Every structure is written in structure tokens, then in C-alpha cells.
A and B are shown apart, each in its own frame.
Chain A
Amino acid sequence: MQKDSLLPTTRALAADPREEPPDPGPVISIRGLVKRYGGRAVVDGVDLEVRRGEVFALLGPNGAGKTTTVEVLAGVRRRDAGEVQVLGVDPAVGDRAWRDRVGVVAQTTGAGNALTVRETVDHFAAYHATPVPGGELLDLVGLGATARTRVDKLSGGQRRRLEVALGVQGRPELLFLDEPTTGLDPVARRQSWALVESLRAAGTTVLLTTHYLDEAAHLADRVGVITAGRLVEVAPPAELGGELRREATVRWTEDGVPREVRTYRPAAVLRDLLAAAPGELPDLTVTRPGLEDVYLRLVGVPEEAVR
């Protein structure tokens, strides 16, 4: 769809080939991160490494600790325990040079609503060592045609793209994207996804948070499922919930009563079942959990609650 129009003009922005090869170490490294609010641990012992160039999604329900984790990583929130390194620096003591290497997409432009789109990006160019030229930046996020529109006249999707533009204006090595598509309509959502894909293509490491499973599955190289402040699993989307996924459920109806058996060996269950059955087995099915079922079980939602 609109993907093509949003794809990068990467060449103009490509890193200088004379530059040092990228540091092979992790971009983010977390050991035993704890953050408490009034005695309650919102982040409760998280360990995580994010590699250079990957898109990592922190997936979890509201209140799971995603945003707090990102705030600690972005150096705007103190932690209560744990070791944290972001681009080789402890965010709690990150200086301006470090902040210039880290991009954060905020929920606001930071300069009010009375500026035009172009005025906003021109203003914030002054904060960066190596800003992307304004016109180019707006073209990258598909806002070239709205450069002269006031920020308060933008649609939700356009606003979000402006915020993303401001997040990447300084050509960050690492970008934090907190809930990039919450509140967006389906078209704007796809546009945001295309933006993230183009960032990855250009080599930017992205840490995004989301409570949408399909978003994590679509965008991320790896997904970390977080619930109640704990990271319960880290895996590529296709491998999420490995054990849970292999478990099949065999269902049938016997004497008018629905029956079900959970098993890793459904064929064996079926053989026994069929051998014992006098005739047809009504409503016989074998199902394996989809990604969503796996996710719901990982975050500990009781199955009765979603049936």
C-alpha cells in the first residue's frame, strides 16, 4: 500500500563508509532491573539484551511495566536495582552526547500546537549534532505536502508521523518507540509500520512497546513478553510460546457432554479414542493454539476470561 511512498531514500543518509565498523556488543543490556513505586515493583527483575540493528518489541498488557522499562532505558527515570547499559553507557548518567545517539518518539512534538510542521522540524534541528535536513525528513515520513500545516490541524496519523520524524531527526543509533500505533486508524497504522520497517532497513536499532500482538509479530525480529513487571519469554514471533504451541487440544462430544484433552501427542490420543469409540465421534477436532492463545496464556489471562 502506501509503503512504497514511505520507503527510505537511504542512500542520501547512509553512514560514511570510512566510519568504524559498528560495535558488535549489545545496544541494550539489562540485568536484574527493578523499579518500584511506593513499595510495589512495577518492573521486577528484568534481564534483556537487544542486538544492534534489530527491531525488538516489548509486548504486554497495559500496566505490565513496558513504559517504565523504556523510561529507565531512555534515562528519564531512576531505577531501584539492576545493571543497565544503553550504547555502552549507564542511562542514569548519560550526557548530551549520549542523548544525541538515542532517539525517543514522544507523544508530543514538544513545541506546542501553534507551529507549522516545517517550523517544528526546523526548530528542533538546532538540538542535534547531525540533523537530517528538514525537507528530506518530512519526505521520509510522508509529510512533505503538509509542511505548511499547523500542528493542531494534523490528523492523528500525521501527528504520529511528525513525532516519529522528530525522534529520528538526529539520526539515532537506537530509537525508542512507545506504542507507535495506539489510537491510529488502520491506514495510519500501516503507515507507521512501514516507517519502522524502513528504519530497520537503514540499520537503526528499534525498541518498541506495544500491547498489540499482531504489531509485535509483524514488526519485530524478537518479541519480549512482559507481564506484571517480569519478562516471561523472549523469542522471534514465530517461536513465541514454543512448548505451549506444540500442545494440541483434542475435543469431541460424548453422550452429549463436551470433552477435551490437552496433549503433546494428539495422534496417540486419537488412536485410543477411535479404538474405544463404537461409531462416529461427534464434534471431533484437533487444534493447536494460535499466537494469540499463546500470548494470553503467557500473560496469565485465565482461559475462562476470554472464552
Chain B
Amino acid sequence: MTAPVLTRPAPPSWTRIARARVLLELRLFLREPQQVVFSFAYPVLMMVVFGSVFGANEVSPGVSFSQYFLAGIAATGIMLTSFQAVGMGIAEERDRGDLARLQVLGTPPLAYAGGKAGQVLLSTAAQLALLLAVAALVYDVPLPDDPGRWATFAWVSLGGALAGTVLGIAVSSGVGSARAAAAGIPALAIVLQFFSGVFFVFTELPAWMQQVAAVFPLKWMTQGMRSVFLPEQAAAAEVAGAWEHGRTALVLLAWVVVGTVLAARTFRWRRGA
């Protein structure tokens, strides 16, 4: 049948395989209703709940609840489609033996990670577009018309999604079985949401919670998103009295670096091998 080839060209480049993997990951994502509902549609659902419950109440003069929480919900969406979806997804693929098969195929780990990152960026972009459309059209949240704010939106989203992806890869190595991942990762994500001012106004949280949250990316993504969707004078209500873009960028970048190193050092194709 498949007569062996004895002289053969070099295997395809890792970028070629990464491209194929992005398409594969997207296809699998769209065919997995659980993923679509819990990672993709969840922020829209949150928007509907917050928007319906708090309606046009104001957090502070000129800032509606919907507007304030849109920032946290957008940041949460990014965390779910990156960190949570990647962490749970890899643990499951490892349990199912899919990764072991990729290993014997000689898949470059970079191609695998590239496939995850590509899928995360594309699904995050689609998710945010949907979320903003619902917020603007249904809950009358004013969207910025200033390109500078959209630039902020872009780098906060990109930084958050990349940090989430590499941290998701890293956490999948430490978490063990797919069952443990399915229980532990969403729990961690929920706790971070409480601490980071997604469900409450951040400045009303106890100081120790704020300090714990400040270690993790979600708080900075949420704050960065507030600088996009809230009026300029709202900066004064922040803990530091400013949007702190420089520090936000630095924290996100640091997590991307730490996550990349952790992911590269701990990645395994098989459990216990």
C-alpha cells in the first residue's frame, strides 16, 4: 500500500503546521457547543444580566452600571477564551491521547502553541465584537469615537489574550487530569473575577483584595478597559487616581514573558511521562 519513501524532503516548517492548526482549532471550537456557550457567549450573557438588573443606574455621575461593567465583562471574556479555554482544552487533549499522537508525528511544540494562540486571538476578536454590539445596541453603552481609545482597546486585548494563552498552556501542565482542570480552572477564574472588580466596583473592594488582584492580569485588563469605555474624568476614581497605562502594559508584558517561560519549561505531550 503506502510504499515507504526512502529519500524524502524535510518535513513541513512549523509555521505551515501552525497555520493548519489554527484552522483546525477554530473548526473544533465552533463544533464544541460547550466551548461556544461557556467561553464565547458567557460575556454576552453577563452583559444581559448586568444590563437588565442595574439598567441605567449610575456608578458615579455620568457613568452607568452597564458602562462600568462592560469593561470588566470584556476583560473576563478575554480571560475565558484564552486562559480558561486553553487550560481546559489542553488538559482534555492530553487525557484523550491527542497530544501523544501529535508527539509521534513530530509536531513542533511551537506549531501547537501557535495554533492555540491563533485560535484564541480570532475567537476573542469575534467575541468582543459581539459583546460591544450588544452593549451599544441593546444597553445604549456609548462606544468611544477616539482612535486613541481603540488603540488602547487593541493592546489591552492583545496583551491579555496572549498572557491568557501562555498561562493557559502552563496551567494545563500543572493541573493534572482533564477533570481536575474542568473543576479548578473555572473556579480560579471566578475568584479572580471577584477580586478584580468584574462583579463589583473595584474601589469598593477591601484593600487586601485589591492588592491580591493587582498581582494578576485580570485587574489590569479590567482597568485598561475602563480607560476605553469610561469618560476621562472617571480616571480620578481609580485607586491610583489615574488609568496607569504604563503599569498596565508592563504587568501584561511581564505575564506574557513569565507565562511563555513557564509554558515552555513545563509543557508535556503525555501525563506522567
Which A residues are closer than 8 A to B by beta carbons?
A: 8-10, 13-16, 19-20, 22, 74-77, 95-102, 104, 106-112, 114-115, 119, 123-124, 126-130, 132, 137, 140, 166, 168-169, 171-174, 195, 198-199, 201-205
Could you say which of B1, B6, B10, B16 has the most chain A C-beta atoms within 10 Å of its C-beta?
Answer: B1
Are A172 and B3 in contact, with the CB atoms below 8 A?
no
Interface residues of B (CB under 8 A from A): 1-12, 16-17, 19-20, 23-24, 27-28, 31-32, 93, 96-108, 269-270, 273
- How far does the Cβ of B209 sit from chain A's closest Cβ, in whole Å? 39
Contact A119 B27 (CB under 8 A): yes
The answer to whether A126 touches B1, judged by C-beta atoms less than 8 angstroms apart, is no
Nearest neighbor of B96 in chain A, beta-carbon distance: A108
Task: Classify the interface of chain A: helix, strand, loop or mixed.
Answer: loop
Q: Which residues of chain A have C-beta atoms less than 8 A from B97's C-beta?
A: 106-108, 110
Closest to B106 in A: A99
| Complex CA distance for A9 and B3, rounded to whole angstroms | 10
26 pairs from A and B in contact (CB 8 Å cutoff): A8-B1, A10-B1, A13-B2, A19-B6, A19-B7, A74-B104, A77-B273, A96-B108, A97-B11, A108-B97, A111-B24, A112-B98, A114-B27, A115-B24, A115-B28, A126-B16, A126-B20, A127-B105, A127-B106, A129-B10, A169-B2, A173-B5, A173-B6, A199-B1, A204-B2, A204-B4
Shortest beta-carbon distance from A20 to chain B in Å: 6
Task: Report whether B3 and A106 are in contact in the complex, using a CB–CB cutoff of 8 Å.
Answer: no
- Taken together as a complex, chains A and B put the C-alpha atoms of A202 and B4 apart, in Å, by 8
Question: Across the interface, do B28 and A15 meet the contact criterion of CB distance under 8 Å?
Answer: no
State the CA gap A203–B270 with chains docked (Å).
31
List chain B residues, Cβ under 8 A from A97. Answer: 8, 10-11
Q: Are B106 and A15 in touch, CB under 8 angstroms? A: no
Docked pose: A102 CA to B23 CA in angstroms: 26
Q: What residues of B have a CB within 8 angstroms of the CB of A205 in the complex?
A: 4
Could you tell me if B105 and A124 are in contact, using CB atoms closer than 8 angstroms?
Answer: yes
